[in-house]
Amino acid sequence: MSVVGRRPSESELASFRNRVKAHIAEYAPAIEAREGHRAPETPAQEALLRTWFASLFEAGLIGADWPVEHGGRADHHPLHDRIVSEEILRARAPRPVDQVNLAAHVLLHFGSDDQKRTLLPLIRSSRHVWCQLLSEPDAGSDIAAIRTRGSRHDDGGWVIDGQKTWITDGHWADMGLALVRTDPASARHHGLSVFTVPLDAEGVEVRPIRTIGDAIEVNEVFLTGVRLGPDNLIGEEGQGWSIIMAGLDFERFGIGGNVILLELLIGDLVEVARHAYIDDVPALESTDIRQKVAELAVEVEVAKAFIDDHVERLTSGDEQPGDGSIAKLSFAETYHQVAAYGAELAACVTAVGDTAPAVQAAKQRLRECWLWSRAYTISGGSSEMMRNILAKRRLHLPSR
């Protein structure tokens, strides 16, 4: 993707932010973003989401970091991406599908000219939504332990057999980015390859998994004798580990914009504590509640400060080993702490008076955030994996 260029001035960034706000106001669908309920629930919603995502590409607000010949902007800077993410979150508008960004990154860096020419325009028009076919039943965050097999066919193509699970957006995605073991004698991160898999191909079966929040966000995907052509292989055979790791590192860059989720979360918590009642007394007048809310607000500010610093180092090329893992871990664990306490408080208080509708909406969002919060501690690499990475890369501790 594009090289980081001149940092825009504050006035230029403010002008860009206004442009993003105007686009959201004009084109965002009337679908309020809900944590744990990001996938469309009806064909009509899906059509609205695809149109919305395509408008963001068309306006150069997402995909702007792509090479200009593939639709990117010559004046792109990573801070533009963060502004887009922040304003979409603040507006509670639907967020673009993360897996599409990872797929585009992989195609742009490792795809053939034919793959780029064929697949990238379909992403920009949102005719293709992508999912990641990485995790498996016995290899969750440890994707080096995958067992899905790819066997080369006589015509140079491949036959894929295996099972993937916890596949976000798999039930409405058009394409999957699959990590497959193509060397049966290999182990761990050796002998892996990456394929593009059309989800309407014969032998692909998608089984939705209903979450505790009563939504379908993730899926099981069964691959039984799925035949793929030679052009479905991305990069070289056996290059899969480095390809996927490069993609996941890019994915973690996007954590910066997610600090707005922490702001929204603490805002809902304060709304409930300030305007709801326990035994006819405002909740925030309780010393214990006031103390806990203050402690969580401090945790949010600490997480925001580190993530802000992390993004600044990324944009200046001064990232330190493990920074991305700290940022991801800080965001995910803080989000869970605030959401868990918010859901607990929401169950104990009563909303009355003129503020009742706003308090009820905040309570509902806190419950949904809590139910979804554990997903953040797993997706993109579990908190346990992040701690392992920190132990090795930052603290230089031995593996055993």
Q: How many CB atoms lie within 10 A of CB 153?
A: 13
Decide if 233 contacts 158 (C-beta within 8 A): yes
| Angle between the N-to-C axes of helices 323-346 and 383-393, in degrees from 0 to 180, rounded to the nearest 10 | 150
The strand order across the sheet containing 350-351 reads 281-282, 276-278, 350-351
- Express the helix, strand and coil content of the chain in percent, nearest 5 each: 50, 15, 35
Question: What residues contact 112, with CB distance under 8 A and at least 6 apart?
Answer: 231
Q: How many CB atoms lie within 10 A of CB 111?
A: 22
Which of 70, 73, 85 is closest to 8 using CA atoms?
73
Which of 96, 119, 97 is closest to 108 using CA atoms?
119
What does the alpha-carbon distance between residue 274 and residue 345 come to, in Å, rounded to a whole number? 11
Decide if 366 contacts 268 (C-beta within 8 A): yes
The torsion region of residue 226 among left (phi > 0), alpha (psi -120 to 50) and beta comes to beta
Question: Apex CA 255: angle with CA 252 and CA 260, to 5°?
Answer: 170
Length of the chain: 400
Q: How far is CA 311 from the centre of its chain?
A: 16
Decide if 331 contacts 375 (C-beta within 8 A): no
- Candidate list 35, 217, 251, 271, residue with the active-site label: 251
What does the alpha-carbon distance between residue 135 and residue 184 come to, in Å, rounded to a whole number? 18
Six-digit token string for 212: 């505790």
The answer to whether residue 299 is catalytic is: no
Q: Which residues are catalytic?
A: 251
